[in-house]
Structure 1
Amino acid sequence: MRRSVDEHLDVVLGRVRALPPFEQSLMEALGLVLCEDVVSGVNLPGFDNSAMDGYAVQMADLAGASQEEPITLPVVGEIAAGRSEPIVVTAGTCVRIMTGAPMPRGADSVVPVEWTDGGAAHVRIAQQPALGASVRRFGEDLKAGDKVLEADTVLGPRQVAVLAAVGRARVRVRPRPRVVVVSTGAELREPGTRLGDGQIYDSNSYTLAAAARQAGAVVYRVGIVDDDPKKIMDTLSDQLVRADLVITSGGVSKGVYDVVKEVLTKLGTIDFPEVAMQPGKPQGFGVMGDDEVPIFTLPGNPVSAYVSFEVFVRPALRKLMGQMPYRRTPVQGISLDGFNSPAGRRQFVRAAATSGDEGWMASTVGGHGSHLLGGLSRANALIVVPEDVTAVRAGERVELWLLDEETG
């Protein structure tokens, strides 16, 4: 079975469903998609209050005040934030007031402390404020009944701020997907252990777990499972109970020891197409278990696994969370290098991209081999070369995916 990149992605997105919403506390909801319109139940501010440390006054008492001829008023009290004192400002008096403190009755303006000598019993004021100066009025920001946020908003720090300000402790959001990551291969060993002949450290499970976590998922890295069909099936079956999505790497090509493909093909719910892309041609996708948990079986070469995550898994995670757009939004840039590309395949070339006065510029890093992690570690972009382009010349315009961008 052979598919184009777009055909395979359509299959993936057609099978993945957004997770049902549930209530989360505000901090747990950070970065998630709101599933309700939020209406304020309070007015903001809830009372007239001071925007400055200073003195609450009647503006008319300070007509003509200047540095040369300051006006002195008696201070009849003090109000701090969080307190409401039964103090009245009458003509010819003032009250010392702190930022956020409620305005006393009778006062119509606030004089910043910087315009005064800071007196406690009497204060000299060197400037007349405008009427209502430095006063935050009741309900000037939000009125009770105003819509604060709309459904489908991604909650960032600013949105969390307004939710807390109107008193919402919990909101309905789409949860973070629970992602299980498994590496397969008898040759793999954990970092920090000693390598034997023919053995390598497992980088794929760390790469994929980190990428899934960066995309917003809760990640369970199971680690290494060797090329034993029963162990692979038992491990995957055991993990389904805590998974909204499963990712494996390795064992999906045409080799004798590509056991993942051998085992999962028998289920009849997972396809193993060849996708017209480089790197990452061997792919597997389908569902497992009674809950039809999506499973991605990615190639074992490290760069192939990472690129496959970017092209297919990341959009699936964004759909699970209800985050639009699902696909990365490309930008246009200039390739500073020339290189060839295979006919009939969409190539994803590792690149270091910078932005300047002339827009985005991208230099290729490392080679094109799907095992070359050194170049991948220096890349912050992928140059996406269409299937019908066989050569890119230095100075030509290309499509770029910026890998460090948090959104689409």
Structure 2
Amino acid sequence: MNTETQTETWNDRFGASLMRSLTPPKVMLERGQGCRVWDVDGKEYLDFLAGIAVNSLGHAHPVLVEAIADQAAKLVHVSNYFATPPQLELAERLKRITGAGDAGRVYFGNSGAEANEAAFKLARLNKGADGRKTRILALKQGFHGRTMGALALTGKPALQEDFLPMIPGVDHVDTTIEALEHAIDDTVAALILEPIKGEAGVVDLPDGFLAAARRLTEEHGALLILDEIQTGVGRTGSWFAFQHLGVVPDAITIAKGIAGGFPIGALVTFGRASELFSAGQHGSTFGGNPLGTRVANAVLGEIEDAGLVDAALVKGERIRAGIAAIASPLVEEIRGRGLLIGVGLHRPVAAAISAAALERGLIVNAPNEASLRIAPPLIVSDAEIDEFLSILAQSMAAVEGADQETSA
């Protein structure tokens, strides 16, 4: 009797057809609804990763589905030789919600990495009056993407090692005000950083760091560019994480949650940075296409109309309090803001907890061995939060029990 599941069959096909740069899938998902997904064998999972902070409205949200179907029946792609109403509407919407205002400008790409590639070019254009601005600063353990420019900005040597030499001119500094003060001078064209380091395990910046970064970049004529790809679009309880801190950057990059799963990215500039690009210096065939921008408008409109930005703070506090109440000896600290939460662990058991949770029907992520990342859809309900906390507690207890048996 053949007991092979569909998942096992799909795993074989995946291994035979997909590039080996991708790791084998944990499960093979077939459909989703709200905060839940189902695999090809019919098993149900509560999704507290949301495609790595992408599925802002969860899965199969009617607003997103309707926008895709309606726009696909009208106009999908026209190239960047032409403007379309959804493109202009989204650019104006992003200027409003970022606070860039009338002086702001928007460039559209198709991903976070593409947005950061555009930001890299923007930094290169900030040459200074004497042309001496040749350096870009980024943070150690920061993550900005895997294309070559974005990878050069990424402060993770292990990811760069196989692709050396990197694009020159990028220096990575420790995430301290003292290190930043030591590194920055008048040769620095830009400082790029994440307001919360997502891929490092949802790690907060030190108190006062962003304000110091703004002060120092202004003093030295450098651009302050914030990578809001994971922290943006309401996830931290404001439209963008920098808005919690009263700091105005020169540019931000946006992707992930902007269109609820449809690929789109953007670079938004503020003030003088809006004057740096000129015609022909950058472009994208698919960037800003009418389908992607229509979907993004629909998603952002629903987030706004449903009050999901403010709700992210309230729901995030419920999750944080619930994790603390589990009182697991594995938990060292709880990081992040709103619905982007990192759980720092005393021992390198994050992958084991993630696997135990998956067995019990919960999707959470282990970005490294000592951290869990929690990023549910913004539409998550209180009942789903309680369910998540119950499964997480069971999963942590199972890992604790396995550790005790091993040590015995």
TM range (shorter): under 0.3
Q: Which has the higher Rg, Structure 1 or Structure 2?
A: 1
Higher strand share goes to which structure? 1
Structure with greater helix share of residues: 2
The alignment's TM-score, normalised by the length of structure 1, stands at 0.26
TM-score if structure 2 supplies the norm length? 0.26
